[in-house]
Chains A and B, each alone.
Chain A
């Protein structure tokens, strides 16, 4: 898997940086689009996985689901930081300012705080079973503001941010087929990267729990 993923990502980087035409009237700076959008997608996907694993933990009480949920939240947090940073680079290129308090920009930042709070809460509980149950419940609660902030809030308030370009967005089909294909290839690559990182992080969580021998 690692080798296929490595080759895939190299091809995506070459296509995004060297082959794809400059886009969105931003010149070469606009190429960050190929990395910013997948980072935002992976962060939300990771939080959905964390919530799903949290629900499975509450139903089964198997520690492995807690490890998976915590691992997904950590990777989600990392990709949210990357989405926020790459969004700031894009904002500087497009609007001349790193930070504009744009609803979508701010929403992603608040999601970062929500999952920062997840780890603050998780680290403050010593007893493992209690920590797992409360983290699982918080992961399920946290998905509500995450969905609201990413999908609902930007539609309630005027935004500088371009409309979603993924299927379901208002401007579906409005981008060039080549650019769209490279974006989808990047999305697939980043999703694969998430799965790979998630598996490694889950093993780390299992070792930290001292459960590795039992699983």
Chain B
């Protein structure tokens, strides 16, 4: 286990350094996020979004921003021809964990940009920032956990970027719907106290199952 964690840390550092040099994924994701929030603000100018609509728009922006960049860690290996080298250098579990950690970092960056911008551009008040942070953390783990193995699959396909969005959206729709439900109290929805908590627990259970399954399936996908 210690060897796996060390390997994962090395894979994470490699991806982070590579990203720091090129800034490809980060700049694409952040530009997309800023453009989407600005577009939503412009299209909805003057419209009074209720809390549920605000939660739905913000999570859709987060999802599509993620879809533009979360395939990058694996697609980059396939495009630069370093897949075989990485397969020789690290165990599959270490690769999965390292890539998952890198995707989690990208998701955190997306959320740190999208949520404040969304609040500022659309004039949406966050009533419970602590709750929103908890939901956003669950969302980041959920989206990056599910997309790590999907990105590894898509890296072997033709037309990778379009296939990634097609493959990821249906799998991520259940947590997205639940994240919208769970975000309600953060924007001021007055619903029964149990409902958003149940939605948050459901997101965490769904993500937990997908992450465990991905962990076991990843070697079969990666070594093929």
Contact = CB atoms under 8 A, between A and B. Distances in A.
Interface size class of B (residues with CB under 8 A): 20 to 34
Interface in A100-114: 110, 113-114
Identify whether the interface residues of B are mostly helix, strand, loop, or mixed.
helix
Identify whether the interface residues of A are mostly helix, strand, loop, or mixed.
helix
B196 to A, nearest CB: 11
B202 interface: yes
Contact of B224 (A116, A133, A142, A144): A133
A123 B66 CA distance: 24
B163 A124 contact: yes
B149 A148 contact: no
A29 to B, nearest CB: 30
Contacts, number: 85
Interface of A: 58, 110, 113-114, 116-117, 120-121, 124-127, 129-130, 133-134, 136-138, 140-142, 144-145, 148-149, 152-153, 156-157
B109 interface: no
A157 B192 CA distance: 13
Contacts of B178: 156
Contact of B213 (A130, A140, A148, A152): A140
Contact of B156 (A110, A125, A148, A153): A125
A152 B224 CA distance: 33
A138 B167 contact: yes
B153 A117 contact: no
Contacts of A124: 157-159, 163
Contacts of B159: 124
Given A133-B220, A137-B153, A120 B210 contact: no
